[in-house]
Amino acid sequence: MLVRTARRLPLIISGRLHPSPSYSTNQTCRRSRSSMDPQVSAADPSSGISSDSTHVSEEPTAVELLPGETVVKEGKAAILFPNANEVFYNPVQEFNRDLTCAVITEFARDQLAQRGVKVLVPGEKERVVVSLSEETNEAETAEKNGAEEPKVTARVGEKCENGLRVLEGLAASGLRSVRFALEVPGLQSVTANDFSSKAAALIARNAQYNRVDHLLQPSCRDASMLMYEMRGKKERYDVIDLDPYGSPAAFVDAAVQAVSEGGLLCVTCTDMAVMAGNNGETCYSKYGSVSIKSKYCHEMALRIILHSLDQRAGVYQRYIQPLLSVSADFYIRVFVRVFTGQATVKNSASKQALVYNCVGCGSFHMQRLGRRISSGKHMKYSAATGPPVGPECEHCGQRHQLGGPFWAEAIHDLDFVQKVLEAVSGNPSRFGTSKRIEGMLSMVTEELEDVPLYYTVDSLSSTIHCNTPPLLQFRSALLHAGHRVSLAHACKNAVKTDAPPGVIWDVMRCWEKTNPVKREKLSQTSPAFKILSTEPSLEACFTVREDANPQSRKRHLTRFQENPQAFWGPKARAKAGGGISTDLQDKRKKFQNKRKNQITDSSQLKNFPCKKFKQGTCAQGDSCCYSHQTEQTCDEKTE
């Protein structure tokens, strides 16, 4: 029976499957929907998910399903899952997997073109190039059309002898690897590795079920050891994908060595509590950087993982080139290329920076770790000078927090991002989350690439306790003042600008004059009082400018989508011996209001064992409010 669990989640088919070879996949899906489950409707077009792209796949092999087994369909893959959820799977990360397929496809197109191989993607004959500037370069188009066509053609699902070698280090069920084999052309092999023997066995079955066992090779190894063994120049992987539960820090050192020259490294981090400032000391132990609580914490998390990758690569005379870095939902995802070059590695220190963040008003200043000065054909390196701030904030008089170091250069390659954007927007039926990918990448292309971090309009107005200015008016005021400004994909109310903090607060002071606050209620030691006590040095103009509204906003693209379902965040961690830990929802109910609803009746405490009695140090005897009964052994319980 066909059941749709949520509007934006993959189609799930339960029971025993016996695909008939006389029906195509399209016919099978339509027949099943009409005859087996009349309540299932087509995908909602407003959700940005095409039912054909999400639920239609090549006819899978007639593999006998085990008792209680379930089939999950995502993209062109149909994955077998035990009902007991013995292997980790999170359907909400379909966007992550779709984006990865799109990025690897464009990477393969660029790399294989140099090897004389042309990449063909189904549906690209209807491809339309979309540019946010709405301008076309006819000369460039003619040059592309006039180029000599490669003799070898690579198609999806076919093995390409000169293709890319891909490794998924933590594959779990193998869903991502199966999708690579079915949806990404130009692959020589895909290695799906997992430390769990149950997961490795399931990967092998899924490869056979989807008829990609000629491309997909299951592996049951420690991911780090597998990558360490493939460090030789002829053995390295062209693409390495790391999507662990939590932090990828344990695998970074091996990954930067096992990826080929100019190869692609795809890394996911889901430990956002650590990277967003809740545990700065833990962040330093894992990534070599101190995270701080701030409004720009999500972009800083991206820059922290890039710093960690570059630092580990530098140990082996290698360096990174970020292609795309995104913050989405509860995780961050970066795509970087890794190169070797001792001379370029020397630039690493000048690419990193510390940040001085004011705890009062949120103003921040950056301090580069190193200096790089060009002297003719030579480059001179020296230590940076600083600090850029005094002991107290010049705007509100509060102290500064020191965060970092983090990557201070561009976090995207806009030319590459534009290629991915054109491919996705020109072939929207390829992915289930095409609309969201288009909206996300459109915002990425609009970001100021040379301006790290951002402010948020609501936090600025909250600091001085005034009404929040409309986003377009605030952006227009900065543009009128002669500064550049853009939005940021990591935060809905973000303002990324090259204007110094003094100009930003002058604009807010001018806004407060038209929307005054009750200053008599402000404490004289508060940041708001000190900021508003200073007269602005410029007269801000809040007249809305045409260029203040970006194209992605004008076109109403899906930029910040709503939560797809309740409890959509990270799922429970998979156990080493199979199975998953207690469901998070049950855990939440168990510990809900545990501090508010504390036990007040001391007689109820007799249900809990006394810790001091176990240690032999309890002097209360029978008057102790906890139980002194020894736990029964298994034999006693049986008797």
pLDDT score, position 374 = 87
Q: Residue 65's closest CA among 47, 79, 46, 52?
A: 79
Beta bridge partners of 367: 354
> How far, in whole angstroms, is CA 217 from its chain's centroid?
26
pLDDT, mean over the chain = 83
Q: Is residue 593 part of a domain?
A: no
Of 51, 67, 88, the residue at which a domain comes to its end is 88
- Mean pLDDT in residue range 562-579: 60
pLDDT score, position 599 = 59
pLDDT score, position 567 = 60
pLDDT score, position 132 = 43
Beta bridge partners of 319: 339
By DSSP bridging, strand 352-358 and strand 400-407 are antiparallel
- Mean pLDDT in residue range 352-375: 95
The model's confidence at residue 22, banded by pLDDT at 50, 70 and 90, is very low
Q: Would you say residue 34 has pLDDT above 50?
A: no
Q: Would you say residue 156 has pLDDT above 80?
A: yes
Q: Would you say residue 90 has pLDDT above 60?
A: yes
The model's confidence at residue 63, banded by pLDDT at 50, 70 and 90, is confident
Q: Is residue 40 part of a domain?
A: yes
pLDDT score, position 585 = 59
- Mean pLDDT in residue range 155-168: 94
- Same domain for 549 and 605, yes or no, is no
Question: CA-to-CA distance for 420 and 88, rounded, in angstroms?
Answer: 29
In this structure, what token pair is assigned to residue 507?
Answer: 């604009």
- Same domain for 550 and 632, yes or no, is no
Q: Is residue 323 part of a domain?
A: no
The model's confidence at residue 91, banded by pLDDT at 50, 70 and 90, is confident
- Mean pLDDT in residue range 599-627: 80
In this structure, what token pair is assigned to residue 143?
Answer: 């040059």
Q: Is residue 499 part of a domain?
A: yes
Cβ neighbours, 10 Å, residue 564 = 17
DSSP for 60-76?
PP-PPPPTTEEEEEETT
User: DSSP state, 634?
Assistant: H
Question: Is 362 within 8 Å of 463 (Cβ atoms)?
Answer: yes
pTM, whole model, 2 decimals?
A: 0.80
CB-based burial label for 246 (10 Å; 0-12, 13-18, 19+):
middle
Q: Residue 98's closest CA among 127, 121, 75, 124?
A: 75
Q: Would you say residue 532 has pLDDT above 80?
A: yes
Q: Would you say residue 68 has pLDDT above 50?
A: yes
Q: Is residue 327 part of a domain?
A: no
pLDDT score, position 583 = 56
The CATH number of whichever domain residue 504 belongs to comes to: 3.30.56.70
Range of the domain at 27: 2-88
pLDDT score, position 123 = 86
Higher model confidence: residue 423 or residue 595? 423
The model's confidence at residue 128, banded by pLDDT at 50, 70 and 90, is very low
Q: Is residue 630 part of a domain?
A: yes
List C-alpha distances in Å: 172 to 79, 210, 315, 581: 11, 16, 30, 15
Cβ neighbours, 10 Å, residue 419 = 20
pLDDT score, position 454 = 97
pLDDT score, position 623 = 83
Beta bridge partners of 168: 192, 241
Of 34, 64, 88, the residue at which a domain comes to its end is 88
Question: Is 362 within 8 Å of 459 (Cβ atoms)?
Answer: yes
By DSSP bridging, strand 187-193 and strand 159-168 are parallel
- Same domain for 460 and 534, yes or no, is yes
Q: Is residue 80 part of a domain?
A: yes
Domain count within the chain: 3
- Same domain for 460 and 547, yes or no, is yes
User: DSSP state, 9?
Assistant: S
- Mean pLDDT in residue range 16-20: 37
Q: Is residue 393 part of a domain?
A: no
Q: Which residue has the tokens 């690439």?
A: 449
pLDDT score, position 601 = 67
- Mean pLDDT in residue range 501-515: 96
* Per-residue model confidence as pLDDT tens digits over 288-344: 999 999 999 999 999 999 999 999 999 999 999 999 999 998 899 999 999 999 999
In this structure, what token pair is assigned to residue 205?
Answer: 């079955």
From 389-393, 441-445, 537-541, 553-557, the region with the lowest mean pLDDT:
553-557
